[in-house]
Amino acid sequence: MQRQPRHPFDADRLHEECGVFGVIGVAEAANFVALGMHALQHRGQEAGGIVSYDPVSGFNSARRFGYVRDSFTKASLMETLPGDLAIGHVRYSTAGSKGSTAIRDVQPFFGEFSMGGCAIAHNGNLTNATALRRELIERGSIFQSSSDSECIIHLMARSIQRTLSERIKDALRRVEGAFSIVAMTRTKLIGVRDALGVRPLVLGRLGEDGYVLSSETCGLDIIGAEFLREIEPGEMVVISKGKIESTRPFGVPQSRFCIFEHVYFSRPDSIIGGRSVYETRRQIGVELAREAPVDADLVCPVPDSGTPAAIGFAHESGIPYGMGIIRNQYMGRTFIEPTESIRNMGVRLKLNVNRALVKGKRVVLVDDSVVRGTTSRKIKDMILDAGAAEVHFRIASPPTRWPCFYGVDTPERSKLLAANMTEEQMRVWIGVDSLRFVSLDGLYRAVGETGGRDVARPQYCDACFTGEYPVLPADQIEAGFKMAEAK
């Protein structure tokens, strides 16, 4: 299957790059993994892979481009993945392979070691991958992919530890950046988060003896697994049938979870830190209404990510809520090879205005973020073309001024609108009557930090808003990236 091309509408969004899922202790584990991958499809639509283990046939794998539903629901394929232990991965584009169409870049990655095989699926990004790759190649390693994640396999191969779980620890002590990892050996399912816990990973129970690792709780829900807890920052769990061992390989952890998971990446039906993602996004809308009130007739979300915040904004402001923009749910598979004329239609392929609702109205549009701003301009034009009297934008995140180096597909800084314009300049460029973003403190209050952001010790990773990177992006600095000046 050919790789899905990015649509112009999607090119103006931030994208989570990966989701990971693993199951141990249930028959036909790969089928459960495929369902979990389907639930995590929002984290990566480009490709997916599954590795399973069966004592008779050994390790088996399948990697495919496209959606999970189009490949991993076919009985003929799933029959080739037997066993009660399996892991899976859904992918957008890894740091080393943006635009790559090579199947070799699709995870999980597999390595055969003297003590047996090991497969690894990684969500996140290694900020020292370029330096590690150069060092490993100089020492004789032969890479099969362009992914930063493959460095982990090669580091494991060079470790002198005697068990695969210890080799994983050894390898991960060498890497920097963000990682949530699900790995498997012949008998164990392993989950690890980096010391800052930037990317998510949760643990669940399935039946009497089964356990599940998933990037989000929505992956547990789809297979009827019971949520047990989050894997903690800096924690490694090794799960064998009926047994879980927990260790802390990376010293004293300090949680810096990605705050954008609350804003956009995670599904609204997932739970993060004991909080409903939907409720957090609704509360962001409440904060927005308090911070940036406006005289208007209608509050409309930019679907689907702006919907909960728009509901919160409408409730707090007293302005009626309405679905002024309708999303075409089936556009994703309609135009595999769009013509130039279709491509120029841009956002209209994805969204359509409810003309009868917005005509003559002063409309508040609520969206999750502004990246390049091109989509915001097109949506504004659509609303005005439909007869709206005024258009006001309210954004459910602070201005995105810095790229992410921890596993999010972000444009370079020169292409981020907020990095190059003031808020007023952005308003004029987009062409709306008003433009306001939720404040950083307002966002922190919405996620449960009632005192706002602790300037001395931020509770979350918010580098995309502040430029304060909790882990220095070593490879980027080597390539000439300029950090924000210390305040």
Catalytic residues: 18
3-class DSSP assignment, residue 275: strand
Task: Output the six-digit token pair for 176.
Answer: 């920097």
Residues 91/84, Cβ–Cβ less than 8 Å: no
Dihedral sign from CA coordinates of 6, 9, 12, 15: negative
Q: Is the peptide bond before 304 cis (omega within 30 degrees of 0)?
A: yes
Cα-to-chain-centroid distance, residue 243: 29
Find residue 301's DSSP bridge partners.
366
Determine the Cα–Cα distance for residues 475 and 227; give it in Å rounded to an integer: 37
Q: Which long-range contacts (C-beta less than 8 Å, at least 24 apart) are formed by 353-356?
A: 353/324, 353/325, 353/326, 353/382, 353/383, 353/385, 353/386, 354/322, 354/323, 354/324, 354/325, 354/326, 354/386, 355/386, 355/387
**DSSP string computed for 399-423:** ---S---SSEE---GGG-HHHHS-H
**DSSP string computed for 193-245:** E-TT--S--EEEEETTTEEEEESSHHHHHHTTPEEEEEPPTT-EEEEETTEEE
Cα-to-chain-centroid distance, residue 480: 26
Number of CB atoms found within 10 A of residue 137's CB: 12
Q: Which helix (H) or strand (E) holds 359?
A: none
φ, ψ dihedrals at 213, nearest 5°: -115, 135
Place of tokens 């008003």: 434
φ, ψ dihedrals at 119, nearest 5°: -115, 145
Nearest to 454, CA basis, from 463, 446, 444, 464: 444
